[in-house]
Amino acid sequence: MEGTYDKAFENVVRLRIMSILMVNERYDFNSFKELLEVTDGNLASHLRNLENSDYIRVEKSFAGRKPLTNYSATAAGKKAFQAHLDFLENLIKENKP
């Protein structure tokens, strides 16, 4: 069967983070928090998890005086997400009678 089920995307928050980063060049922490409606701690731990798998890249800067943390998907992350998508699509195809 084509595609691979990736454990990293088993969690729905991580799946959503990666979906957003597939179509946005970069996305910041607060915007993630608002769109996903999760707590700071929860979001930070999922982001760290994806970062540790080298699926996303962190970029810290300042917007005026406020710290701004931007995230973007790495090439490896995009590839893994695409494989995960392929897996899901094939699963649907195979289960069709």
Partner 1 sequence: MRKPEQELSDIKSMMERSTRFLSLSGLAGVLAGIYAFVGAGIAWYWIYFPSTEYGAGTETISQADLQINLLAVALVVLVLAIGSAYLLSQQKSQKNSHQFWTPASKRFLYALFIPVLAGGLFSFALIHESAYLFIAPTTLIFYGLGLINASHFTLGEIKNLGFGQLIMGLTGAFFPEFGLICWAIGFGVLHVIYGSMMYYRYDR
Report the interface residues with partner 1, using CB under 8 A.
10, 12, 15-16, 19-20, 22-24, 27-28, 31, 34-35, 85, 88-89, 91-92, 95
Query: Minimum distance between the CB of residue 4 and partner 1, rounded to whole angstroms?
Result: 14
Query: Minimum distance between the CB of residue 25 and partner 1, rounded to whole angstroms?
Result: 10
Query: CB within 8 A of 3, min separation 6: which ones?
Result: 83, 84, 85, 86, 87, 88, 89, 90
Query: Minimum distance between the CB of residue 14 and partner 1, rounded to whole angstroms?
Result: 12
**Among candidate residues 50, 47, 45, 43, the one with its CA nearest the CA of residue 80:** 50
